Amino acid sequence: MTELATPVAILKQRLDELCIEQPQGFIRLSTPCQIEHLIGWLNVQSVFPRLYWKARELDAPEYAMVGVVKALDSLAALHSDQYALAAHPGEQPDYFGGMAFDPTTPGWANFNHCYFLLPRIELKRCEQGTMLSLNLRFDDRDREQELADAHAALDALNPPRPLSPLLPLSLERNDCPSREEWAAQVSRVTQPDQLCRTPKVVLSRETCLRSAEIPSPWALLSHWQAGAADCFQLGIQFTPHEAFIGCPPERLYRRKGSHLASEALAGTTPRGRTAQQDGELAIRLLSDTKNGLENRCVYQQLLSQLEPLSHRIDMGEAHIVTLRSVLHIRRLIHAKLHPEVSDRQLLETLPPTPAVGGVPRQAALAFIRQHEHHRRGWYAGVFGRISHASSDLAVAIRCAHVGKDSIRLYAGAGIVKGSEPDAEWRELDSKIADIMTLLGMG
Ligand SMILES: C=C(O[C@@H]1C=C(C(=O)O)C=C[C@H]1O)C(=O)O
Ligand SMILES: [Mg+2]
């Protein structure tokens, strides 16, 4: 018996026992399992979608899932699905997925603007070990069909295999916008009359790397995450030849009951070569006017949006977050939400934050729609886990779209008074440096 065969056999037996009962609502059948490397397991599954999620705390559980019990393509549908299941007593499910940056513009092929799924098969690894779960529901479908689908999902599971190493690639790079176009866009935003209308616009770049041989997105994510332990780690794949992966450092929010944690993460400098240089750069970053303004735009908007939703809001001091290639300024925000505030309301209100859009929001988005020529798709959107009891969502930056013959890397920079095109271009490069190094292009 392999590390998968026994747990699958146990779940099948539990499923057969379930047939005799009269199950209602949502049911999760779980059993311990020996699988250690979740991404390696995900890489060999044949069912889509495949999804991976880990929050940025070092002890956060890791989730890998395949297939769907139900997929929701709007926040309204997600909200009513949660509401329907909450009518049945017992456990409530976790939903996973994300949203595009701007639903009013064309997105990526095969990526809905909004997509959250209740997974069919879920592997969850935490400090106590790994659990394999089979999810089912009986409130909105034919019982026999649901049992048959669940059986088929177990039958389709493949045992894990080690991921292949990343081989050196020959990649051709193309930036959109080009360096010259970028300089023109930055100059436009920093014109005094434009700054009066939009004090901050986050401009972005798509770096397209082409090659005849593209590595598995899961192998890429596995190597990427090894150097990004203190970041969120995510991946979603709807079809065999395209996936969205990333290791974002930024939290949109985490909600536990009515306690909300959010943050303003904005203001950047590339890392130094020594700890002493990093220390000096950190002091300079915290006192820098341009970077301070980038951060202030984010927290001011978050505070004003959270104000009507909360009893109480607290914000911490500005501090430095040290990542592998960059330093950022961050301020943590905590709020006690009014009891009726839902994830739907939070997700309809907070994104896109000025960390990825700008201020004022609508004018900044209008500028981006007019001047950016690439499709952001799910880059700078939202990605994470939602449940009745708690939710955790990342701002989907430091991400890549992995296609059949290309890897598209995305990076943005907050353009404000004092931004200079060359320095902001270097900032974009420092934000993709981790993945570029992995690809042998560092
Ligand atoms: C937009 C991105 O990052 C945002 C922009 C930052 C900046 O300009 O200093 C820093 C962190 C994020 O707020 C990105 O990484 O793509
Ligand atoms: Mg910046």
Strand partners, 407: 209, 402
The H helix count followed by the E strand count for the chain is 13, 20
Q: Is 265 in the pocket of ligand 1 (CB under 6 A)?
A: yes
Cα–Cα distance, 294 to 202 (Å, whole number): 9
Collect the ranges in the chain with pLDDT lower than 70.
Answer: 1-2
Question: What is the model's pLDDT at position 230?
Answer: 96
**Residues 6 or more apart in contact with residue 139 via CB below 8 angstroms:** 24, 25, 26, 84, 85, 87, 88
Does ligand 1 lie within 6 Å of residue 355's CB atom? yes
CA distance 250 to 399: 12
Which DSSP state fits 195?
H
Helix H segments across 95-191?
Answer: 143-155, 179-189
Ligand closest to Cα of 428 equals: 1
Distance separating alpha carbons of residues 175 and 427, to the nearest angstrom: 14
Write out 224-274 in H/E/C secondary structure: HHHCCCCCCEEEEEEECCEEEEECCCCEEEEEECCEEEEEEEEEEEECCCC
d(CA 294, ligand 2 centre) in Å: 7
For residue 96, report the distance from its CA to the centre of ligand 1, in Å.
24
Question: Who's near 352: CB < 8 A, 6+ residues apart?
Answer: 101, 102, 361, 365, 380, 381
Closest to 302 measured CA to CA, from 239, 393, 286, 310 = 310
Handedness of CA 376, 380, 385, 388 (dihedral sign): negative
- Which pLDDT does position 23 carry in this prediction? 86
Pick the catalytic residue: 54, 70, 200, 431? Answer: 200
pLDDT value of position 2: 59
Q: Is 356 in the pocket of ligand 1 (CB under 6 A)?
A: yes
What's the confidence (pLDDT) of residue 122?
98
Distances (CA, A) of 93 to 85, 135, 248, 333: 9, 8, 24, 27
**Residues 301-334: tens digit of each pLDDT:** 999 999 999 999 999 999 999 999 999 999 999 9
pLDDT confidence of residue 19: 79
What are the b/e assignments for 403-420, b being 16+ CB within 10 Å?
beebbbbbbbbbbbeebe
> 172-232+249-438: CATH homologous superfamily?
Anthranilate synthase (3.60.120.10)
Give the Cα separation of 162 and 424 in Å (integer).
39
The residue among 119, 131, 120, 115 whose CA lies nearest residue 38 is: 131
Contacts for 323 with CB less than 8 Å, ≥ 6 apart:
228, 230, 231, 249, 271, 434
Question: Is 200 a catalytic site residue?
Answer: yes
CA distance 115 to 103: 12
CA 309 / ligand 1 centre spacing (Å): 26
Residue bearing tokens 């969120």: 232
Q: What was the pLDDT predicted at 442?
A: 82
**Angstrom distance (rounded) from CA 299 to CA 288:** 17
Query: Which residue owns the Cα nearest ligand 1 atom 1?
Result: 412
- For the segment 148-191, what is each residue's pLDDT rounded down to a tens digit? 999 999 999 999 999 989 888 889 999 999 999 999 999 999 99
For 254-271, how does the pLDDT look when each residue is reduced to its tens digit (9 = 90+)?
A: 999 999 999 999 999 999
Active-site residue flag, 250 = yes
CA 267/CA 353 separation, integer angstroms: 14
Phi-psi domain of 171 (left: phi exceeds 0; alpha: psi -120 through 50; beta: other): beta
Q: What is the DSSP letter of 303?
A: H
Query: Is any ligand 1 atom within 6 A of the Cβ of residue 68?
Result: no
Pocket test residue of 186, 207, 231, 250 for ligand 1, highest count of atoms within 8 A of CB: 250
Strand partners, 248: none
Alpha-helical (H) ranges within 24-164 are 38-43, 75-86, 143-155
In angstroms, what CA-CA distances link 79 with 86, 150, 341, 380, 403? 11, 24, 12, 22, 32
Residue 277 DSSP one-character state? H
Query: Cβ–Cβ contacts within 10 Å for residue 171, how many?
Result: 17
pLDDT value of residue 1 = 44
- Burial-class residue 84 by CB neighbours within 10 Å (0-12, 13-18, 19+): middle
Q: Please identify, by atom number, the ligand 1 atom nearest to the C-alpha of residue 248.
A: 15
State the pLDDT at residue 43: 97
Which residues are annotated binding-site positions?
294, 427
**Confidence at residue 4, expressed as pLDDT on a 0 to 100 scale:** 82
Per the DSSP assignment, residues forming a β-bridge with 408 are 208, 401
Best residue among 294, 359, 409, 429 to mutate for probing ligand 1's pocket (most ligand atoms within 8 Å of CB) is: 294
Q: Delimit the domains of the chain by residue range.
A: 5-155, 172-232+249-438
Binding site for Mg(2+), by residue number, is 294, 427
Q: Please provide residue 293's backbone torsions phi and psi, each rounded to the nearest 5 degrees.
A: -65, -40
Q: Which atom of ligand 1 is nearest to the CA of 411?
A: 16
Choosing from 431, 432, 434 the residue with most ligand 1 atoms within 8 A of its CB, the one to mutate for a pocket test is 431
Ligand 1: nearest atom to the Cα of 356: 1
Q: Which of 62, 122, 206, 250 is catalytic?
A: 250
